[in-house]
Amino acid sequence: MKKILLATTALVGFAGAASAEVTISGSAEMGIAGGNRGAVTQFWTQIDATFSMSGTTDGGLTFGADIDLDESDGRNTTIFPTIGASPAFAGLTQGGETIFISGSFGKITMGDTDGALDWAAQEIYMGTAIADDHSSHAGAYWNSGLDGTAGGQIARYEYSFGSFAAAVSAEIDTSIANNDVFGVGVKYSGDFGGTKVGFGLGYQDNSVQSMYAVTANATMSNGIVINVGYADLDAQAVGAKDTWAGIGVGYTSGALLVAANYGSYDVLGGPTVDGWGLVANYDLGGGAVVMAGYGTSSNVPVTPAGNEIGGLYGSDDTFSVGLGLSF
Amino acid sequence: MKKILLATTALVGFAGAASAEVTISGSAEMGIAGGNRGAVTQFWTQIDATFSMSGTTDGGLTFGADIDLDESDGRNTTIFPTIGASPAFAGLTQGGETIFISGSFGKITMGDTDGALDWAAQEIYMGTAIADDHSSHAGAYWNSGLDGTAGGQIARYEYSFGSFAAAVSAEIDTSIANNDVFGVGVKYSGDFGGTKVGFGLGYQDNSVQSMYAVTANATMSNGIVINVGYADLDAQAVGAKDTWAGIGVGYTSGALLVAANYGSYDVLGGPTVDGWGLVANYDLGGGAVVMAGYGTSSNVPVTPAGNEIGGLYGSDDTFSVGLGLSF
Amino acid sequence: MKKILLATTALVGFAGAASAEVTISGSAEMGIAGGNRGAVTQFWTQIDATFSMSGTTDGGLTFGADIDLDESDGRNTTIFPTIGASPAFAGLTQGGETIFISGSFGKITMGDTDGALDWAAQEIYMGTAIADDHSSHAGAYWNSGLDGTAGGQIARYEYSFGSFAAAVSAEIDTSIANNDVFGVGVKYSGDFGGTKVGFGLGYQDNSVQSMYAVTANATMSNGIVINVGYADLDAQAVGAKDTWAGIGVGYTSGALLVAANYGSYDVLGGPTVDGWGLVANYDLGGGAVVMAGYGTSSNVPVTPAGNEIGGLYGSDDTFSVGLGLSF
């Protein structure tokens, strides 16, 4: 009684008939993960499925929404601490869902989406590891800016013009502090003699902190990619992270991708916290990729009992090797 | 690697091949919600997906089941207070799932389904608002009768004959109180010179309380709809709601629907609690509808800190404006 | 806007186009369940959906993964006691997901999969009851061996050669006890003059306990099936189960299956704990099966308030009757 979902390519003949549709894709990981984190090297398995919804109005506006299966599961947020209901299903909160409508006026996206800073700034990381070791060491930064400081329910408007695109975003603080987050970002992509280059600049403010991030990246025709980034995190107290700088370099040849990155935080009145990562991916085709990742950190407070991989604490070195599968 | 699900209309040619199948549909909302509830006007995002299962036996009986993605997520019920497992997946409890089998003998439905009172009585509400402001004010009633007073695991049998249909239902109380809920309902629908009319009458008893509801509705050929309802709630204590009466009026013209409703509760030994609601929907086609809703309440106890929209308490006026999307 | 998923048989023409795909199947149960467990006879409803993912690498390796909808819901494990997040979505834990890759080298499966003992040993049970009464009495055993004693995250390698297949498995204990579980199993299937026979032998050890199980089964051409099993559970303390033996006998004729089973535990320094079960299934076609089950237990500690069906305690006799539906 199993039902099979057709691959998109097989459905070209039907495309006109489906004005609103739900598609499902999946991902899974299997392998081993370890490191000197006080825990033994262990098996690693992870799975997820994504519901992607899309449609078009009679007037030609496109709209859509998506949610992952893991996002439809309860979690311990400050809003629903132990109840076990995902905030994705309540209107005033987000739990991973994103919803958009777009047309010639631009695009509006709401829910668990990037603020304008993160939207404009490009990550320095390439490749994937099953435990994300290479991109979650103590020196890693994901341009998150002030996103999530007011519940994470974000609205972003973006508009493209030629090689440029710009966005503004807002996140409403419903606490009495009323520290709404506003952001603006702009990015550029172009081609200079076969080298694709991109720049991003983003800024966010919540009346208490002002952050900005600037990134640049170049993809050369010989397969080498270089990404650099800098962020001002506007530390408000001794011990808080104040600035970040990072670089990522990758090389792709056929089915193989290898990449390395380094990132470093300046801490207000404290030592520099940094780390670097390595990753190798080999594509077996059909959705299967062999993945190996490594990350190492310096100057991180170590909590001895932690089994967590990818946290900023309790971790000096982590590695993982396995298969990443896409369906 | 995304998989696309075909729209039903594209599949007529395959209909004979699929005797049992799972279909998926989705919904999403984006917009803003506010009101004078002590909380600021906020972003609103919500998403859901429905798994609908159907099949036919060799003898021609049809059967099916459905569950929503949000119902597959744990919640804080009296049965699983903080554990985070949805009661949908345990046999002796329900968490939103419904399951049915039907044939010439009628139809049996079990799970999170309406008791016979709610099945027979028609709601007075038309249209949709992203925060349901128009249909969740203090005067709103949904003909829930005694449903859910014994765990919400309901079995209902229904049978149609001509313009009439009748149902009986049961909900077993597994506590020592043993207050099983039994119900009976009958409804009628007909056409009088182009005006479609309907009547519903339902009754429920659990050995402690006896409730009944009676409803009538008329849909005129000029686009006007009038719904009225009355319910005896059999209050057992001072301060409890004893009777309810309500009216809803709507008008549809092309892509536009506007509607208003008023409902009022008589409280045993207390003041009348009432409220009214307004809603406007404009259909953009393809599954996208612009929605605006407003609700206002009188004589409701106000809890100052509440951010809830749609609750009976802590709320005087609420509104929401946004997009409702169906996939 | 409902999307329909095609039955596999309708898609033969498209098979070559879909190298990686997600299929969805569903199941539901409706009926009544009861017994002399201090609880009244109640309605029973249950639902689930399965996401099955599969793909093929360019080199011809096949891979896949699956997870059920109920497994994507939080649960009260020792790892996530009240938080409500399913461990299926975290790499170092399992919450029901299985992931595999296979080729001429054999097959590797990871996640919530059987250890080599359970993989090799065949259950004695036939047929299904909505509350599994027949296969969950006090004398029932499912060849679980030591699976789950170290978190349940299992890796198993299996290989087939002619009528034989063999497997090895491991489950890593991340506690300081470090009681990793290792297992080995072998099974055989053959045909002797129209009677299909099978044998299984499995062994597991975790440095503290050593368990083994041996099973045999015969399916005769007249529709009679006989399954027998024996397990050494290596009790470590007075009151613990030390050995188990069981037999199941079934008969299939057309749409009807009837089966009975008996199982008995020897308890170290205590009385024998045993039970037997009966089940009848009648297939209505199209995915609908009428199911009736009964189970009875002896020498079980009875906790008076328990409403649980299928637990080993608080239960003398249980029964259930209803419909099992597959989609």
Contact pairs from chain A to chain C, CB under 8 Å: 202
Is pLDDT at C313 greater than 70 in this prediction?
Answer: no
pLDDT of residue C84: 55
CB within 8 Å: C84 and A69: no
pLDDT, tens only, B306-321: 444 444 444 578 999 9
Is pLDDT at B13 greater than 80 in this prediction?
Answer: no
Is pLDDT at B281 greater than 80 in this prediction?
Answer: yes
Q: Which of A297-301, B107-111, C272-276 has the highest mean pLDDT?
A: B107-111
Residues 6+ apart with CB under 8 A from A297: A137, A138, A139, A273, A274, A275, A312, A315, A316, A317
| DSSP result, B82-125 | TT---GGGSTTS-SS-EEEEEETTEEEEEES---HHHHHSPPS-
Q: Give, in order, the Cα–Cα distances in Å from A110 to each of A54, A98, A106, B289, B321.
A: 15, 6, 14, 17, 14
- Best residue in B2, B6, B8, B23 for a mutation probing chain C (most C CBs within 10 Å): B23
Chains that touch C (3 or more CB pairs under 8 A): A, B
Q: Which residue has the higher pLDDT, B10 or A213?
A: A213
Asked if residues B224 and B196 have their Cβ atoms less than 8 Å apart, the reply is: no
d(CA C317, CA C277): 10
Q: Shortest CA distance to B65 belongs to which of B21, B26, B120?
A: B21
pLDDT of residue A125: 97
Is pLDDT at B249 greater than 50 in this prediction?
Answer: yes
d(CA A176, CA A266): 31
A76 Cα distance to chain centroid: 20
**Which residue in the set C24, C59, C63 is minimally distant from A3, CB to CB?**
C24
- Best residue in B27, B37, B47, B77 for a mutation probing chain A (most A CBs within 10 Å): B47
* Residues on chain C touching B177 (C-beta within 8 angstroms): none
Residues 6+ apart with CB under 8 A from B177: none
- Best residue in B78, B83, B101, B113 for a mutation probing chain C (most C CBs within 10 Å): B83
Stretch A319-323: mean pLDDT, rounded?
96
3-state secondary structure of A116: helix
Q: Which residue has the higher pLDDT, A185 or B14?
A: A185
Structure ipTM: 0.86
DSSP state at residue C71: G
Residues 6+ apart with CB under 8 A from C18: A4, A6, A7, A10, B3
Asked if residues C215 and C117 have their Cβ atoms less than 8 Å apart, the reply is: no
pLDDT of residue C302: 52
Q: Which of 275-294 (A) contact C at CB < 8 A? A: 284-288
Range name among A318-322, B9-13, C101-105 with the lowest pLDDT average? B9-13
- How buried is residue A117: exposed, middle or buried, by Cβ count under 10 Å (0-12/13-18/19+)? buried
Whole-number percent of chain C with pLDDT over 90? 74
d(CA B53, CA B75): 23
pLDDT of residue C293: 97
Q: Which residue of C has its CA nearest to B65?
A: C28
CB within 8 Å: C39 and B88: no
CA distance B17 to chain C (A): 6
pLDDT of residue A54: 97
pLDDT, tens only, C178-214: 899 999 999 999 999 999 999 999 999 999 999 999 9
Q: Shortest CA distance to A282 belongs to which of A309, A259, A260?
A: A259
d(CA C290, CA B128): 40
Q: Shortest CA distance to C54 belongs to which of C105, C15, C6, C106?
A: C15
Determine contact: B49 vs chain A, CB below 8 A. yes
Chains that touch A (3 or more CB pairs under 8 A): B, C
pLDDT, tens only, B56-79: 999 999 999 999 998 888 764 444
pLDDT of residue C166: 98
Determine contact: A76 vs chain C, CB below 8 A. yes
Stretch A12-18: mean pLDDT, rounded?
38
Give the total residue count for chain A. 327
CB within 8 Å: A75 and C58: no
Task: List the structure tokens of A166.
Answer: 């710009």
DSSP state at residue A130: T
Q: Which residue of B has its CA nearest to A82?
A: B82
pLDDT of residue A9: 32
Q: Shortest CA distance to A316 belongs to which of A297, A303, A299, A301?
A: A297
Is pLDDT at B8 greater than 60 in this prediction?
Answer: no
Q: Which residue of B has its CA nearest to C75?
A: B85
pLDDT, tens only, C162-179: 999 999 999 999 888 889
With the C-alpha atoms ordered C122, C128, C132, C137, is the resulting torsion angle positive or negative? negative
pLDDT of residue B1: 36
**In B164-264, which ranges are continuous DSSP H helix?**
none
With the C-alpha atoms ordered B172, B175, B178, B184, is the resulting torsion angle positive or negative? negative
pLDDT of residue C167: 98
A153 Cα distance to chain centroid: 16
pLDDT, tens only, A65-114: 999 998 888 764 444 444 557 778 888 888 889 999 999 999 999 999 99
DSSP state at residue B208: S
Amino acid at B242: D
Is pLDDT at A130 greater than 70 in this prediction?
Answer: yes
